[in-house]
Structure 1
Amino acid sequence: MKILIIGTGYVGATTAMVLAESGWEVTGLDVDAFKIERLRQGRLHFHEPSLEDLISKHVHSGRLLFTTDKETAIAEHDVIFICVGTPSQPDGNADLRYVQQAAEDIGYWMNDYKLVVTKSTVPVGTQEQIIAWIKAAQRKAYPFDVASNPEFLREGKAVEDALQPDRIVIGTDSASATEQLQKLYEVFQCPWIVTKPRTAELIKYASNAFLATKISYMNELARLCDELKINVKEVADGMGLDPRIGPSFLQAGLGYGGSCFPKDVSELVMTSRKHEVNLHILDQVMEVNRNQFTYLLDKARSRLGSFADKNIAVLGLAFKPNTDDIREAPALRMIQELLLEQAKVKLFDPVAKLPGHAAYEAVTVCALVEEALQDAEAIILCTEWTEFEQLDWENLKVLLGQANFFDGRNMMDARRMRGIGYYYQGIGNDY
């Protein structure tokens, strides 16, 4: 089988890599010529640890190719993965315009049987829409199958998750499609679920929504821990030892962000409303997450009195470490609020960059963490980059105007930070 990946973003590039690593011939297709040119050189257009090395390895071996030629790519490949983006629309629904365009391109240019595999995260029922879009675009009624094969990749750990998946989910009504995908993934030793397309689509949304729920639950619990003078980390450790709960996603902080959880929870809620079912818990999950960053800001405001004309160092912009993804990053909301209150904001992130629009022109972006700390009257840590934990905070204190440290990720040891002279506040971890 020759494999085509439509879309070379985070999911597409990782899927292309893992299939090439498994021994298949793979081509990545994208309309963005800049991305394709970089990929042809074995270079990524985003940050993901170890992925660029593996992309480069297979580009140079000839197993992995990249192109902007839709007609040739679709005609010459047997299995076609749709890996395009599905961002949220303003009303919370998933935007399927890129999925529809990919489906129509496949229908128009196909010249024989094709297995179309949807790896993009799409609302329940999208597989049926893709079938309709392909049929409507066909110039000749070639046969095809459409299967759902959702991805379960963590940004910052995509290579690990792709090469060692914890499960493979295939949604299809076709025995032939199932057989082809089982052959494609035969090197992986993990549980398999073969089910209906709608079920596969829902598994993805339900998984992300449940993880988001764990995060918001711990963030609310952290507020109670502050009132009771209990360390939320110790509570999480005790909870996580229960195998029915597990330790993952029990870290209190500024809330979730990125390209998956915010849009996926929103889309699942919108789907439920269309079917007149209320997912009350998820409504509250989103509400807690929207406002979580203000909890730390309130702590900082109580200490400083006002942010006006105060020098504030913001450490970390990406929504999580080991990625440059700033979509729905809590740091962005934090910075916007600080600017509204006339603070002087200096930002440092080792990888991520601010959006280019005018709203952030007042932010001083620093190349070194020391520049951000110079004369700062408060430090607000928004991303738990390992290098922040490893800094010599005792010696860095001389750079500061005031040694106020507000830890939005509970990264530091509260007792140690206070012991070396900082006024330290985290989220439920100060005790």
Structure 2
Amino acid sequence: MKVAVIGTGYVGLVSGTCLAAWGHDVVCVDKDAQKIAGLQKAVLPIYEPGLADLVESNAAAGRLNFTCNLAEALAGAALVLIAVGTPARAGHGDADLSFVYMAARELAPHLETGAVVTIKSTVPVGTGDVVEKIIGSIRPSGSFSVASNPEFLREGVAVRDFLDPDRVVIGVEDERARKALMDLYRPPLEMRGTPIVVTRRRTSELIKYAANAFLATKITFINELADLCEEVGSDVGELALGMGLDKRIGASFLNAGPGYGGSCFPKDTLALLRTAQDHGVSLRLVEETVTANEARKRRMALKVIDALDGDVDGATIAVLGLTFKPDTDDMRDAPSVPLIETLQRFGANVRAYDPVGQENASRLLSDVEFCLDAYECVRGADAVVVVTEWESIRKLDLARVKRAMRQPVLVDLRNAVSHGVARELGFHVSAIGRSASAWREAEGTQAGERRARARLGGGDKQTTAGGSNERMEF
């Protein structure tokens, strides 16, 4: 099947490349000539593990092409995926659908008769109806179909998520659209037993927002329980383990941290709230989730200040990890930004290191000294703060870190490193969801935790309360 993908951002590029890997003839189109020129040379505009090799191999095989010419991309295409951005409108919270509607207007004259236009972008309920009207104002009714096919890609593991998804959701209003999307997905996924949920278009649009809001709520729930654990002498890691073994709850997204961020959760929760408000419905749980998450990000700076006896004026703080999660260069709504800005307002000097996110971070942060490696970053620091649990940061030589620092203060906002080793080396350790009185007990039960994780079959990264929530499931 020939597929045209409009938009070569995160969703469009991953989706188009993976469809080509399944054997479809894919043309990705974008107005950004510089981006297209780069993609034609296998130079990617985003960092995503495994994607560059897949782009290169499928382009070489002739199954994946890139162009700025919309008419050329749509010629002969039975399926057109709209995968343009839907950012939150500043000051409003609702999704900016201008790019979606522009794509609909511009594709309409070039659309093949019988083609199915499928909205891959995350959009509010009813967007498909508007797109259908826009195209229908240019083309005869019945000569095309409009469907919904939301993406569920987690940055860092997006290629795997597309090729081996938990489920595929398609929202259709006619048999032509249903058949086209089933032909797209069923052959490669049937052997895997992947569920394909076929529903009405409006329900499909709502599923994506509902799923993200639920996961955001789950993250916020465990973060607030982590605060309680610190006050009552409990261990949030053990708490999450005991909860997660209940199959009704599950272990995923029970990793306490500095708050969720990224391209989806913040934007989608706000958009869902605006949709609910427009229809006179109150989603108070989601409202509280958004409020609590934003407050938590800035409150993490107070945790750093407390670790330095309440005063960071003139102190040098080394921040390790800047992106909202590992294995991505995405800085959108990253907790590191409000953390650093708050520390700077209290007079701290901030150094920072991230394996791939520093270029994007430099556009958002000022007066920060960016370092080439983690050990350079911690040299002479009064405190080191772990914000993103990159594997290289997890594996740091803590003895070497301590020797380089002015004061041995470690604030681990992801519970990513060995606190037992750090304490033995003489670090003052401040972590998430563990009080000082719980340290000895926590270190003594590590073997039991590992055995329980093995029974879950997920390994340390999947069930430990110190990892990134977004990394695991979205």
TM interval, shorter chain, is over 0.9
Q: Distance in 1 between matches of 2:431 and 2:298?
A: 13
**After superposition, what is the alpha-carbon deviation per residue over 1:271-304, rounded to whole angstroms, capped at 9, x for unaligned?**
1111111101011111111011233322221232
2:135 counterpart of 1:134? yes
Conserved in 1, the CA contact under 8 Å of 2:78 and 2:112? no
Partner residue of 2:77?
Answer: 77
Contact in 1 for aligned 2:337/2:365 (Cα 8 Å): no
Task: State the one-letter code of the partner of 1:238.
Answer: G
Letter paired with 2:366: E
Quote the residue 2:348 is aligned against.
343
Give me the identity figure in percent.
43
* Residues 227-246 of structure 1 mapped to structure 2, 5 A cutoff: 227-246=231-250
Does residue 281 in structure 1 map to residue 285 in structure 2?
Answer: yes
**Structure 1 residue 51: deviation in Å?**
1.0
TM-fit CA distance, 1:142: 7.2
Provide the C-alpha distance between the structure 2 equivalents of 1:161 and 1:317, rounded to a whole number of angstroms.
Answer: 24
* Match in the other structure for 1:248: 252
Answer 1 or 2: higher relative contact order, Cα 8 Å, separation at least 6: 2
- The separation in 2 between residues aligned to 1:263 and 1:175, in whole angstroms, is 32
d(CA) in 1 for partners of 2:434, 2:237 = 6
**What residue number does 1:47 align with?**
47
SS of the equivalent of 1:220 reads helix
Which deviates the most, 157-166 or 73-82? 73-82
After superposition, what is the alpha-carbon deviation per residue over 1:167-209, rounded to whole angstroms, capped at 9, x for unaligned?
0111011111111111111211301111100000111100011
Instruction: Say if 1:168 and 1:162 are closer, same or farther in 2 by CA, change over 3 A.
Output: same
Q: For 1:197 and 1:353, how far apart are their aligned partners in 2? A: 40
Counterpart check, 1:62 vs 2:67: no
How far off its partner does 1:354 sit?
Answer: 4.9
What amino acid maps onto 2:44 in structure 1?
A: L
Contact in 2 for aligned 1:346/1:364 (Cα 8 Å) = yes
- 1:334 alignment counterpart: 339
Moved more, 298-307 or 384-393: 298-307
Match of 2:156 in 1: 156
SS at 1:185's partner residue?
A: helix
Q: Does 1:301 align with 2:305?
A: yes
Kept after mapping to 1: 8 A contact 2:95/2:124: yes
Please report how far the alpha carbon of residue 23 of structure 1 lies from its aligned counterpart in structure 2 after TM superposition.
0.8
Structure 1 contact 354–360 (Cα < 8 Å) conserved: no
Q: Counterpart of 2:11? A: 11
Task: Check if 1:202 corresponds to 2:206.
Answer: yes
Q: Do the aligned residues in 2 keep the contact of 1:296 with 1:426 (CA within 8 Å)?
A: no
| Equivalent in the alignment of 1:415 | 420
1:127 and 1:198 in contact (8 A); partners too: yes
Is the counterpart of residue 191 in structure 1 residue 219 in structure 2? no
Counterpart check, 1:428 vs 2:438: no
- Secondary structure of the structure 1 residue equivalent to 2:358: coil
**Secondary structure of residue in 1 paired with 2:75:** helix
Is contact 1:296-1:427 (8 Å) kept? Answer: no
Q: Deviations over 1:372-424 (max 9, x none)?
A: 10110011111010111111111221110111111111112322211111111
Q: Is the 8 A contact 2:30 2:36 kept in 1?
A: yes
1:261 shift after superposition = 0.4
State the secondary structure of the residue aligned to 1:269: helix
Partner of 2:168: 168
Q: CA deviation at 1:109?
A: 2.5
Residue equivalent to 2:390: 385
> Which residue of structure 2 aligns with residue 400 of structure 1?
405
Would the alpha carbon gap of residues 140 and 196 (structure 1) be closer, same or farther in structure 2, given more than 3 Å must change? closer
4+ runs deviating over 6 angstroms: 139-142, 356-359
1:120 touches 1:151 (CA, 8 Å); kept in 2?
A: yes
Distance 2:307 2:153 in 1: 39
1:263 matches 2:264: no
| Alpha-carbon distance in structure 2 between the residues aligned to 1:142 and 1:103 | 16
| Structure 2 counterpart of 1:121, one-letter code | T
Structure 2: runs of 5+ lacking an equivalent: 439-474
TM-score, normalization by structure 1? 0.97
For 1:123, the equivalent position in structure 2 comes to 124
Partners of 1:295 and 1:333 lie apart in 2 by: 9
Give the residue type in structure 1 aligned to 2:375. Answer: E
| Aligned mate of 1:314, from 305, 312, 319 | 319
The one-character-per-residue Cα deviations of 1:289-326 (angstroms, maximum 9, x if unpaired) are 10112333222212323222110101111000000000
Deviations 1:36-84 (A, max 9, x none): 1121122311110111111111011111000000122223322100011
Equivalent position of 1:290 in the other structure: 294
Please tell me whether the aligned partners of residues 323 and 351 of structure 1 are also in contact (alpha carbons under 8 angstroms).
yes
Report the secondary structure of 1:221's partner residue. helix
What amino acid does structure 2 have at the position aligned with 1:101?
A: M
Q: Secondary structure at the match of 1:325?
A: coil
CA apart distance, 1:366? 0.6
Give ranges in structure 1 of 5+ residues lacking alignment: none
Using the size of structure 2 for normalisation, the TM-score is 0.88
1:354 & 1:212 partners in 2: Cα distance?
27
Alignment-derived partner of residue 109 in structure 1: 110
**How far is the alpha carbon of 1:355 from its aligned partner?**
4.5
Contact preservation (8 Å) 1:43, 1:56: no
Question: By how many angstroms is 1:339 displaced?
Answer: 1.8
Question: How much has 1:357 moved relative to structure 2?
Answer: 7.2
Q: Distance in 1 between matches of 2:168 and 2:29?
A: 24
Distance 1:356 1:315 in 2: 12
1:301 and 1:307 in contact (8 A); partners too: yes
In 2 relative to 1, CA 111–184 (structure 1 residues): closer, same or farther, beyond 3 Å?
closer
In 2: Cα distance, 1:358 partner to 1:118 partner: 31
For the residue of structure 1 that corresponds to 2:198, the secondary structure is: strand
Contact kept in structure 2, 1:118 and 1:149, CA below 8 Å: yes
Deviates more, 1:126-135 or 1:287-296: 287-296
Q: Is the 8 A contact 1:41 1:59 kept in 2?
A: no
